[in-house]
Structure 1
Amino acid sequence: MKTVYYTAVLLLFFGSPIYAQNKILIDPKPSSIFIEQSENKQILNFDFLISNQSKDTLTLQRLKISIFDNQNHLVHTRFLDNNGTAPSILLVPTRTWNGQENHLVFNPFSEFDNSFPLNKLEFEWTFSDAKENEMIVKTTILPEKYQQKTNYQFPLKGRVLVYDAHDYNSHHRRFDYNFEPIKMLELKSNFMRYAYDFVLLDTSNNQFKNKGENNSDYFGFERSVYAVADGKIIYSVANHKDDKTFDIPKLKENPLELYGNCVAIQHNDGSVSIYGHLKENSLKYKKGDLVKSGQEIGQIGVSGSSFFPHLHFEIRTDLSNTAEGLPSYFSNIDLVIGNKSQKLKSGLAETGNVIQAK
């Protein structure tokens, strides 16, 4: 088998990518790649937009990551390949690029122990063409630890299930804005990259009573939602029915249509908090109003693209269809395990956790 080497080296300087490329262009997204810190691990949440610049059909055969410390010493490595009866490379769902085609690939190496210094990440991609020629492309990334500038209070009170956060399996994390139907709506980034779905529970950790067939069966329905920090309301819509529907074509003009009744608050650092799927006519403030941290802004509903009553919450850069998501940590949550609870020092809520918000 012939082997042809290509190099694609990407460094992040002031948010501007610098890369060299031949047949395959690999562009990490977003431009700023952050390291999130939980109690016992580091989390990397980013994607690769991979473009086949040639007319050949190319298939991803192997992906390897090497991690280096600040002295360029190798400290950790992992890989996915095509070895065995159930090859690990199959965990990457899109592996074939036709000529002049591009796809978004979600970074499968997303969680690491706290002991690893993530100073430099080197990804090595091995592609093959129809003639079994191999092409190896290397992409180097220098991530940065995320520093939150604003103190966020949790937007709910009581016992809460983190129904879906932004880990590798989360639907927020796997929003493919390169998918053609989404591109047609001119959505060009993952504004929900670090989003959450929060569900209020009773003291036995149940989400609903009876069979959960009615909105009122859910313990969270009509419960209060609070501003996570001081700010100014820059978006407020309250007239959507609590009927789990939304107008898809309107997303082209307003991506927040996805969330039905919704409030957006811009904070002093420029970040924007989003509170979605609120109850019809429950909003307490209008666009232009100033709010304080902990003030009630509305109630949980089931408006917009919502399967059942819950709060969709996210922090993002702005309200445009090119907005990017931002991480968020909360200063007042405990992790509940059985009949015990412990302070979440990191403040990071993770998928599947039961937390108590004070």
Structure 2
Amino acid sequence: MLIALALVHALSAVPADTPDVTVRAAPERVRVERGASQYLNFDFLIHNGGADTLEITRVEVSVYDGAGGLQLRKLVNENGPSPSALLLSPDRVLPPGADGMIFNPFAEFPREVELARLRYDVELRPRRADGERGEPIARTVDVMPEAFAPRTRLRMPLQGRVLVWDGHDFLSHHRRWNWTHPVLAAHCITSNPGRYAYDFVLLGADDSLHAGDGKAHTQWYGFGAEVRAPAAGRVVAATGDRPDDGNFDLDALCADELAMYGNFVVIDHGNGEMSVLAHLQQGSVAVRVGDEVGEGDVVARVGSSGSSLFPHLHYQLVTGTQHGAEGLPSYFPGLRVRRGAGWVDAPDGQVDTGDIIDAR
């Protein structure tokens, strides 16, 4: 349930004559995803409007409870022979006029920590033409995250033993969707609807992904497996004629951001929550726009169409399908995940990269 609108704003910590440098959180509404820990899946957009090249040298987070008490504090900086600041961003050095992104380095917190307010202090240092560094520029971003759970009760869209080949943890490619990158910016990408996405792969009896060398789609245990509606709703987008060749037309993204997914089905569950089921097998999509589907109905089969490395099901819950839409945390109540020699309940039904799921 939404308990508050996130209040996110950047505050200047330097005099007004400091160059036009801004740092802000993206997306503006920061949601708390709950599982074994609490996760804040957001990042920082930086604009360098000054005359100097800037280098990101430090990010610190301070976490406060509802009474204003400090809960914890962490930082990354340039200390040490392999400084942690190198991990912050591919855009750690920003030329004048450039936009860049910092992937939030502090996105996971213990469940018992109260996340009432988080203050992120960002330090940037000018790098002048003579090689000297100027005085640090400081920016502060205050984040008040909101507790969130979707109104839609979801079920796993695949049945069997499933590997989360890639989820949305800090190292996931779904998470690292830098839309300030020139290629993405040129193709109208302005948000990350896949920030909470999963790539699901069905496993064989010996927990392998495929038989043989896996070069043929038919060797993958999941290829052609039934894809089921995770909840009831109305189909608002569907495409099923694209080949299972792992390719898509990059130039089509401005007209349709879903083009990267090859064959797909989008189900509107209401309340601003839509399921995207993607990379589906050519010719397998069994629904059309306007169809009403029930939870568990078979809508397609697993394929490898669009931007796909191998047969798998891409799933994400989103606010919409147009440019600027954002991803939402999604949970699958009742799931069990492998731990040690047995299976345990997934906390809150949340899974992520590397988890092996019993979805029978």
TM-score, reference length from structure 1:
0.93
Which residue identity is paired with 2:243?
K
Indicate the residue corresponding to 1:73 in structure 2: 69
Q: Confirm whether residue 283 of structure 1 aligns to residue 280 of structure 2.
A: no
CA RMSD of aligned residues (A): 1.4
Indicate the residue corresponding to 1:28 in structure 2: 25
Aligned with 1:43 (options 36, 39, 42): 39
Aligned with 1:315 (options 317, 336, 342): 317
In 1, the alpha carbon distance for the partners of 2:232 and 2:109 equals 33
Q: CA deviation at 1:92?
A: 1.2
Indicate the residue corresponding to 2:173 in structure 1: 171
Q: Confirm whether residue 195 of structure 1 aligns to residue 197 of structure 2.
A: yes
Runs of 4+ in structure 1 deviating by more than 4 angstroms, as ranges, are 13-22
Which residue identity is paired with 2:239?
V
Which residue identity is paired with 2:230?
V
Question: Structure 1 residues 15 and 113 mapped into 2: Cα distance closer, same or farther (>3 Å)?
Answer: closer
Q: Note if contact 1:335-1:341 (Cα within 8 Å) is conserved in structure 2.
A: yes
Question: Structure 1 residues 145 and 91 mapped into 2: Cα distance closer, same or farther (>3 Å)?
Answer: same
Deviation sequence 1:290-320 (CA, Å, 0-9, x none): 0000111000011111111000000111110
Q: CA deviation at 1:14?
A: 4.5
Q: Confirm whether residue 126 of structure 1 aligns to residue 126 of structure 2.
A: no
Q: Note if contact 1:230-1:268 (Cα within 8 Å) is conserved in structure 2.
A: no
Aligned with 2:114 (options 105, 112, 117): 117
Indicate the residue corresponding to 1:273 in structure 2: 275
Indicate the residue corresponding to 1:92 in structure 2: 88
Match of 1:89, SS state, is: helix
In 1, the alpha carbon distance for the partners of 2:5 and 2:152 equals 22
Aligned with 2:55 (options 48, 51, 59): 59
Question: Structure 1 residues 264 and 335 mapped into 2: Cα distance closer, same or farther (>3 Å)?
Answer: same
Q: CA deviation at 1:147?
A: 2.1
Match of 1:128, SS state, is: strand
Indicate the residue corresponding to 2:354 in structure 1: 352
Which runs of 5 or more structure 2 residues have no equivalent in the other structure? none
Name whichever of 113-122 and 221-230 sits farther off: 113-122
Deviation sequence 1:327-355 (CA, Å, 0-9, x none): 10002311023541112141011100101
Q: CA deviation at 1:213?
A: 1.3
Deviation sequence 1:191-223 (CA, Å, 0-9, x none): 111111000001321110111111010000000
In 2, the alpha carbon distance for the partners of 1:281 and 1:332 equals 32
Q: Percent identity?
A: 33
What is the aligned length? 345
Match of 1:187, SS state, is: coil
Q: Confirm whether residue 108 of structure 1 aligns to residue 105 of structure 2.
A: yes
Q: CA deviation at 1:15?
A: 5.7
Name whichever of 130-139 and 292-301 sits farther off: 130-139
TM-score, reference length from structure 2:
0.93
Q: Note if contact 1:154-1:332 (Cα within 8 Å) is conserved in structure 2.
A: no
Q: Confirm whether residue 328 of structure 1 aligns to residue 324 of structure 2.
A: no
In 2, the alpha carbon distance for the partners of 1:248 and 1:323 equals 19
Q: Note if contact 1:53-1:101 (Cα within 8 Å) is conserved in structure 2.
A: yes
